Each structure stands twice: as C-alpha cells, then as structure tokens.
Amino acid sequence: MKALVYHGPEKKSWDEVPDPTLVDATDAVVQVDTTTICGTDLHILKGDVPTVTEGRILGHEGVGTVVAVGSSVRNITVGDRVIISCISSCGVCTYCRSGNPSHCLADEGAPGIGWILGHLIDGTQAELVRIPFADNSLYRLPEGVADDEALLLSDILPTGFEIGVQYGRVKPGDTVAVVGAGPVGLAVIATAGLYGAAQIVAIDLDENRLDLAKQVGATQGVNSGASDWKEQVLSLTDGYGVDVAVEAVGTPATFDMCTQIVRPGGNVANVGVHGKPVQLDLQELWIKNINISMGLVNTTTLGMLLKLVAQHKLPVQQFVTHRFALDDIVAAYETFGNAAQTHALKVLMTR
C-alpha cells in the first residue's frame, strides 16, 4: 500500500509500505476512505514530538471501511463504515474505566497514553490502517452522515468540546473568548453554545477566519493585530474580563493573551499543542482565583457529538476548505502548512 511516512524533522514522503495485518484478537484493519491533516502533524514534522520515530506513518483521523477484524471483536464487522477515533481505548484499564482513555494503560509503545495512531504506531494517512481495540476505538456511522462531516469527529470536535468547553467549565450565560480561530478553535466556538455561552468572542489575526468563526457560532470577532485588541475584548464584559479564555494555538504569546483577558474567578482552558515552555506569571495570577486546565482529548463525547452531527445540529460543513486525492497528500500538506496564504482549515484527502 501507499502511505505518508515521516523520515525525521521536515522530511516526509508518500511511500510504498507493507499492508497492515491483524496482530491482536481485538484489532481491525480499516480501508481509509477519507483522512485529514492535524496541526499536531505539523508539530511532529517540526520535531516537536520526539516520541515519533523515523519511519512512522502519520495521521490519527479518518473515516473508512472495515476489511478485517480479530477473533475477539464483537461490535464491529467487515464492511462497516466507521469513524476512527484519535484515541485508542482498551476499555478495561483504570484510566479507561474512569473516563480517561487518553491515558490508556494497555496501549502499545507507551502505556499511559491513548494517542498512539500516527504517534507510537502507524497511522491513518495511508490506504489501510490497523486499529487496536476496535470495539472501543471505532464508531459505526449512521446512514446520511457524509465522510467530510464524520471526519471532524475523529479529533477536532471532541477536542474543542472536551478540552475547551468542558475543561473550561463553560456554563449558561458565560462570555467565552477563543484565541485562535483555526480548526480546533472553531470546534470550541461551534460547541460552546451547547453549554449555554451567551457571548463567544473569536480572536485571530486572520480576518477570513474571523468571518468563518461568526458562521459557526461566534457572536463577535476581534483582530489580535489591532493595538486595542485587549480593550475590545474587555469592553464586551464591562471591563471585568471573560468567564472562559480558551487558548487554541499553542504558543507562549497566545497563552499569555488568555491570562490577560480572563476575569477573577474565571477559567483558562489550554487546547493548543505547545512545543516550547510557557512562562506562568503566578506572582500576578495567584490572587485572581483563576483555574487553568489542559489535556489530551478522551473522545468520550464522540458518540454524543455524532448524534448532533447526524441531526445537523452542528455547523460542520464550513470546516472543510480544501480537498485532494489521497495520492496528492504531499500537496495537501503544502496547502495546510501555508494556511495564512491558502486560507486552509480542514484539508481532506479522499481515496
């Protein structure tokens, strides 16, 4: 088969590699029909994730068709059309049973981490992929849900909702500011209304992304390149600051922006993947009673979000901006990696 292979920082290629096979009785092999590129993949290519070794097939999101199942797989059958969760869950270890499969103890390569696809084992940017713990890591698709809608459920919608909205403790009437209107930031914006946010403020340098943020749920957009961006945000809350500030970029500057606009007693939810240390000004923040949260998505809400997508309750159609054939994945990376020029959000590659 062909697959996108990582060969070290800044090196990747579309290579011929062996087909995956069933290894454990709980495995499935899935034909990848549609996949995408995540910001985390770009971090890997920059060398920010040293646990990804040379020769690894990248990718942790996908929609596909099951072509083989192990003898212990009970709920998934050959021919099923499925969403591939970015988190692989054994379902029985202490973390899985406590609702934290992102730290599954049974996963391969590094017990205690549930993100293994495209990280510790070969991933979904390929024609075929082996999925461990198929019963817990694949979600059968209902009729009427298109691949481009379903694909967003592999990672970004659960990530935005769980790590941004739930960890950020959004409640009815809150003002939520989302710093970074990329795919995951837009996922926060699209799902914050599920918990009753009264105002959702998108903050970004890109006017195109701010416009799209308003289409998926933002009530206001603020360009962070403006000298008075902070004053614009605070003016929406009578100067008190936002109830929840969500960091959705992964840089020290955007994390600092969140700490500047959150009100006393508020919440900062870090969703972005950071490749560098961030300074935490505790000498100023400790007295403000601020809660700071962060984490790796568990995808425990994937099934619930799938129901909403199936009933057209979430504005997922606007997320996909570019489409490629799977064989053109290198070109897709170029497009996604130059999003400021191409206005790329989610880039889909289809079999």
Span 77-115, pLDDT tens digits:
999 999 999 999 999 999 999 999 999 998 666 678 999
Of 270, 294, 318, the domain-final residue: 294
Range of the domain at 326: 2-155+298-350
pLDDT tens profile 262-314: 999 999 999 998 888 999 999 999 999 999 999 999 999 999 999 999 999 99
The per-residue pLDDT for 307 is 97
The Cβ of residue 313 has, within 10 Å, a number of other Cβ atoms equal to 11
CA-based nearest residue to 192, from 272, 274, 269? 269
Q: Which of 258, 274, 294 is the last residue of a domain?
A: 294
- Do 10 and 133 belong together in one domain? yes
> Within this chain, do residues 263 and 282 fall inside the same structural domain, yes or no?
yes
CB 94 within 8 A of CB 105: yes
Over residues 229-239, the pLDDT tens digits come to: 999 999 999 99
Domain boundary among 294, 318, 334: 294
Whether 148 and 181 share a structural domain: no
Assess whether pLDDT exceeds 80 at residue 116. yes
> Which helix or strand (DSSP H or E) is residue 138 part of?
strand 138-140
33 and 84, same structural domain?
yes
Residues 229 and 288 in one domain: yes
CATH number at residue 337: 3.90.180.10
Tell me the mean pLDDT in the region 252-265: 98
Whether residues 81 and 167 share a domain: the answer is no
Whether 1 has a pLDDT exceeding 80, the answer reads yes
Judge if 269 and 344 occupy the same domain. Answer: no
How confident is the model at residue 109, as a pLDDT? 63
Phi and psi at residue 225, to the nearest 5°? -80, -10
Structure confidence by residue, pLDDT tens digits, 117-159: 999 999 999 999 999 999 999 999 999 999 999 999 999 999 9
**Same domain? 147 vs 177:** no
Residue holding tokens 């701010």?
Answer: 210
Q: Would you state the pLDDT for residue 110?
A: 67
Using CA atoms, how far residue 1 sits from 20, 24, 66, 194, 247, in Å, is 9, 21, 16, 41, 38
CA torsion sign for 286, 170, 199, 215 is: positive
Coil vs helix vs strand at 326: helix
Q: Mark whether 189 and 256 lie in a shared domain.
A: yes
Q: Are residues 151 and 15 in the same domain?
A: yes
Q: Do β-strands 199-204 and 175-179 pair in parallel, antiparallel, or remain unpaired?
A: parallel
Domain count within the chain = 2
> Are 217 and 345 found together in one domain?
no
CA distance 189 to 197: 10
- Same-domain pairing of 229 and 102: no
Beta bridge partners of 221: 202
The domain spanning residue 174 has which CATH number?
A: 3.40.50.720
Q: Encode pLDDT of 18-53 as tens digits.
A: 999 999 999 999 999 999 999 999 989 998 889 999
Q: What is the pTM of this model?
A: 0.95
